């Protein structure tokens, strides 16, 4: 088993709070790896440490054996890390196909002047980029909507578009921040099927998600955080049956019920 992403003793301290506490995680190349845990467990913080949005207080992160602990997000992108956001970020006024093309702009090689003058080299690159964007839209089943304004797509379609745009940079590791948030059951099922297809393209997926059914169904391996610490790790079945996990989740449910009962 080859490890693509490795976190070693990674911690993040906010003023007075250890949001992520000495966490070790190995993400196998080609796998779908989920991070779960009750509210405030440190999932988003850990995710942001991997994407480079936040620097860790201590610990190391390596991608394919190369240390990326202090690398900026754009450097990680160049090394093959892509991400999607919990709140969809796209250019709403651009067409669907144009949005996918923005995901590959770092890869266009002709100069800005060539683009300005629309020289043949630029036009060739642009045609190739459009063809690749259309291929990705086929893959996420949005090809028939390529010419629509992105902001007019349904929520589920916008999520698929975000994935196509992330794939446009040829990532090796795709980070997904709550990909199923706000989706109805049909959209969630379709998304799981799409992400399985993405994994078959040799792209490793690391996701943070609240929807348990979705995580259990999709992930090869799951890391469970609670109060910033890793409390369990394994297959869906292993973590589901783990007493520490049951207690962490049960604890929150009981607390929620008690809070409701007391009108909090
Ligand atoms: N920028 C910040 N400054 C201070 N504290 C923060 C910051 N970001 C997160 N925290 C705190 O760190 C802890 C972990 O938060 P985090 O958002 O990582 O948890 P989570 O597991 O993603 O939670 P949720 O499921 O509710 O999204 C929480 O107590 C949160 O209040």
Q: Closest Cα partner for 90 from 143, 151, 145, 136?
A: 151
Residue 51 gets which letter from DSSP?
H
59 lines ligand 1 (CB under 6 A): no
Residue found under tokens 């390529």: 146
Q: Closest Cα partner for 50 from 87, 78, 10?
A: 10
39 lines ligand 1 (CB under 6 A): yes
Domain ranges of the chain: 3-80+171-261, 91-155
The number of the ligand 1 atom at minimal distance from the alpha carbon of 45 is 18
The number of the ligand 1 atom at minimal distance from the alpha carbon of 42 is 18
Q: Closest Cα partner for 168 from 112, 212, 106, 213?
A: 106
The number of the ligand 1 atom at minimal distance from the alpha carbon of 47 is 18
Contacts of 123 (CB under 8 A, 6+ apart): none
Measure Cα distances from 37 to 132, 206, 252 in Å. Answer: 37, 14, 10
Between vectors from CA 173 to CA 89 and to CA 17, what angle results, nearest 5°? Answer: 70
- Gap from CA of 166 to ligand 1 centroid (Å): 25
- Gap from CA of 97 to ligand 1 centroid (Å): 35
Residue among 15, 40, 176 whose CB has most ligand 1 atoms within 8 A, to mutate: 40
- Gap from CA of 68 to ligand 1 centroid (Å): 22
41 lines ligand 1 (CB under 6 A): yes
pLDDT of residue 31: 95
Q: Closest Cα partner for 180 from 148, 204, 151, 214?
A: 214
3-state DSSP call for residue 207?
strand
Is 142's pLDDT higher than 80?
yes
92-127 pLDDT, tens per residue? 889 999 999 988 855 555 666 666 667 667 777 778
Angle between helices 155-167 and 185-200 (to 10 degrees): 10
Give me the interface pTM, i.e. the ipTM. Answer: 0.96
Residue among 12, 13, 15, 17 whose CB has most ligand 1 atoms within 8 A, to mutate: 17
Angle between helices 120-139 and 155-167 (to 10 degrees): 130
Locate all alpha helices (DSSP H) within 52-95, ordered by sequence: 73-78
Between vectors from CA 150 to CA 202 and to CA 90, what angle results, nearest 5°? Answer: 65
Is 255's pLDDT higher than 90?
no
211 lines ligand 1 (CB under 6 A): no
- Gap from CA of 210 to ligand 1 centroid (Å): 14
56, 49 Cβ separation under 8 angstroms:
yes
CATH 3.20.20.410 fits 3-80+171-261, yes or no: no
Residue nearest to atom 3 of ligand 1 (CA): 14
- Gap from CA of 228 to ligand 1 centroid (Å): 9
38-81 pLDDT, tens per residue? 999 999 999 999 999 999 999 999 999 999 999 998 899 999 99
What is the mean pLDDT of the segment spanning 1-6? Answer: 94
Q: What is the pTM of this model?
A: 0.87
Is 168's pLDDT higher than 80?
yes
185-219 pLDDT, tens per residue? 999 999 999 999 999 999 999 999 989 899 999 99
Distance separating alpha carbons of residues 55 and 50, to the nearest angstrom: 9
Print burial letters for 52-83: b (CB count within 10 Å at least 16), e (below 16): bebebeebebbbeeeebbebeeeebbeebbbb
């Amino acid at each position: 088993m080859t490890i693509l992403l490795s976190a070693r003793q990674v911690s993040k301290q906010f003023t007075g709070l250890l949001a992520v506490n000495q966490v070790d995680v190995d993400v196998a190349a080609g796998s779908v790896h989920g991070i779960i845990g009750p509210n405030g467990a440190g999932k988003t913080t850990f995710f942001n440490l991997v994407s480079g949005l936040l620097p860790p207080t201590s610990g190391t992160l390596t991608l394919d054996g190369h240390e990326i602990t202090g690398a900026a997000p754009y450097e990680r992108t160049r090394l093959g890390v892509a991400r999607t956001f919990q709140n969809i970020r796209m250019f709403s006024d651009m067409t669907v196909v144009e949005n996918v093309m923005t995901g590959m702009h770092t890869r266009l090689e002709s100069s800005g002047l060539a683009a300005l003058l629309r020289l043949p080299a630029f036009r060739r690159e642009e045609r190739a980029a459009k063809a690749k964007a259309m291929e990705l839209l086929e893959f996420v089943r949005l090809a028939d909507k390529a010419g629509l304004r992105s902001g007019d797509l349904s929520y589920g379609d916008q999520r698929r578009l975000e994935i196509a745009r992330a794939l446009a940079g040829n990532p090796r590791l795709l980070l997904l921040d709550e990909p199923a948030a706000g989706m109805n059951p049909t959209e969630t099922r379709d998304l799981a099927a799409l992400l399985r297809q993405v994994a078959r393209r040799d792209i490793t997926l690391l996701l943070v998600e609240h929807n348990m059914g979705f995580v259990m169904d999709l992930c090869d391996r799951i890391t469970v955080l609670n109060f910033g610490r890793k409390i369990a790790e394994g297959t869906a079945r292993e973590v589901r049956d783990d007493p520490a996990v049951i207690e962490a989740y049960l604890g929150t449910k009981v607390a929620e019920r008690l809070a409701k009962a007391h009108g909090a």
